[in-house]
Amino acid sequence: MASHRRPKQPSRTRVTVLTATAAAAVALSSQAAQADPKPTKKDVKAQVDKLYEEAEVATEKYNGAKEKQDSLEKQVDALQDKVARGQGELNKLRNGLGSMATAQYRSGGVDPSLQLILSSDPDDYLDKASTLNQVTSKQAGSLKKIADTQRTLKQQREEAALKLKDLADTRKALGTKKRDIQDKLSKAQTLLNTLTAKERADLAKAEEERANRSNADRSKLEDGKDSGQGGEQGGNQDGGSDTGSNVPTSGRAGAALAAAQGKIGSPYVWGATGPGSFDCSGLTSWAYAQADVKLDRTSQAQANNGTRIGRSALKPGDLVLFYGDLHHIGLYAGNNQVLHAPKPGANVRYESMDNMPFQFGVRI
């Protein structure tokens, strides 16, 4: 017979727990939605600009490590060449003494002095030679040369071993810095991808207009100079104070600036030193190389390649350093303008000196 009992109803306690759990889930979902709102275009730009600046800091550290690696590789190669030549000389000296020993053996045996000469410790022989009175001056001279060569080889091998360890550490640091740069650039791209295509286009347009304003202002100033108006006045109209004469301080400064001007529009690429792409210190070092002046690789090192000067003393072609840690550098172009490789995603261009925290200039 079929049962007609009613199904068991959930208890009041169980209903309360389920209701509370559902409410909590809804609340958490609401909080999560509120905690992770889509960043605005302004927020994205600020974060991306910060990441690009951090990437440039890391780039200058990478450049320094790369320069050290290149220098160490040359030093290690030179030391290894010296060791190889020294070993060849040592082998030749030992062969000479071996021939002498063979000749003596054939004529009646090797005397005690040559036994000591061919020992593994020539220095010990020299200490004892004075009591033997059996060593010819030629043998003593050969042995001393062997001992000196052995000592030199030992020192060179030890120095090469230390350089090789330093080189290995530098290569490891180089890899770490490279990953740091790539990580920051990847994060910047991820942020940009949160924007719509139109928002990204608007940012790119604003960046281009900013660069074009600097170039347009410069063109007006140069047109004013050509028509007889002073560049001094134009500099003030640009919104910044006049910062020195518009004539380069030297032929090499003028040549470096002219070389950099020929690269306007070239892309910023971290670690690049031209001629097709540049980072900030890559552009300045390449430009001065065209004027037969060798600068150090990094912006911080280039800050010490000449005489430091204040803003009011700047002339075209002088180096200009920005930010407290000196991680950015460019060439002063006159009329309150810097010519530089700005950052990832931007090309070599003129820009107002007021767009970055200026520290000092360097006259080469």
CA angle, corner 204, sides to 201 and 208, nearest 5?
135
17 assigned to some structural domain: no
Number of independent structural domains in the chain = 2
22 assigned to some structural domain: no
**CA dist., res. 210 & res. 191, Å (int):** 21
Q: Are residues 201 and 186 in the same domain?
A: no
Q: Are residues 204 and 353 in the same domain?
A: yes
Domain boundary among 192, 207, 223: 192
Burial annotation 119-142 (CB, 10 A radius, 16+ → b, else e): eeebeebbeebeeeeebeeebbeb
CA angle, corner 198, sides to 196 and 204, nearest 5?
105
Length of the chain: 364
49 assigned to some structural domain: yes
Q: Are residues 207 and 244 in the same domain?
A: yes
Domain boundary among 192, 225, 251: 192
**Helix (H/G/I), strand (E/B), else coil: 267:** strand
Q: Are residues 214 and 359 in the same domain?
A: yes
Q: Are residues 151 and 225 in the same domain?
A: no
Q: Are residues 188 and 221 in the same domain?
A: no
Q: Is the pTM of this model over 0.75?
A: no
> By residue range, what is the domain housing residue 250?
197-363
Q: Are residues 150 and 108 in the same domain?
A: yes
33 assigned to some structural domain: no
**CA dist., res. 48 & res. 61, Å (int):** 20
Torsional sign, CA 211, 362, 314, 248 = negative
Q: Are residues 85 and 161 in the same domain?
A: yes
The CATH number of residue 234's host domain is 3.90.1720.10
**Helix (H/G/I), strand (E/B), else coil: 357:** coil
Helices (H) and strands (E) in the chain, counts: 10, 6
Q: Are residues 127 and 156 in the same domain?
A: yes
Residue 14 has which token pair?
């169980």
**CA dist., res. 359 & res. 300, Å (int):** 12
**CA dist., res. 364 & res. 137, Å (int):** 59
Catalytic residues: 280, 328, 340
User: From first to last of its 364 residues, what are the pLDDT tens digits of the chain?
Assistant: 554 555 555 555 554 444 544 454 444 444 544 555 677 888 999 999 999 999 999 999 999 999 999 999 999 999 999 999 988 888 888 887 766 556 555 555 555 556 555 666 666 666 655 544 454 666 677 788 888 888 988 999 999 999 999 999 999 999 999 999 999 999 999 999 999 999 888 888 888 777 766 665 565 555 555 544 444 333 333 334 444 467 787 899 999 999 999 999 999 999 999 999 999 999 999 999 999 999 999 999 999 999 999 999 999 999 999 999 999 999 999 999 999 999 998 999 999 999 999 999 999 9
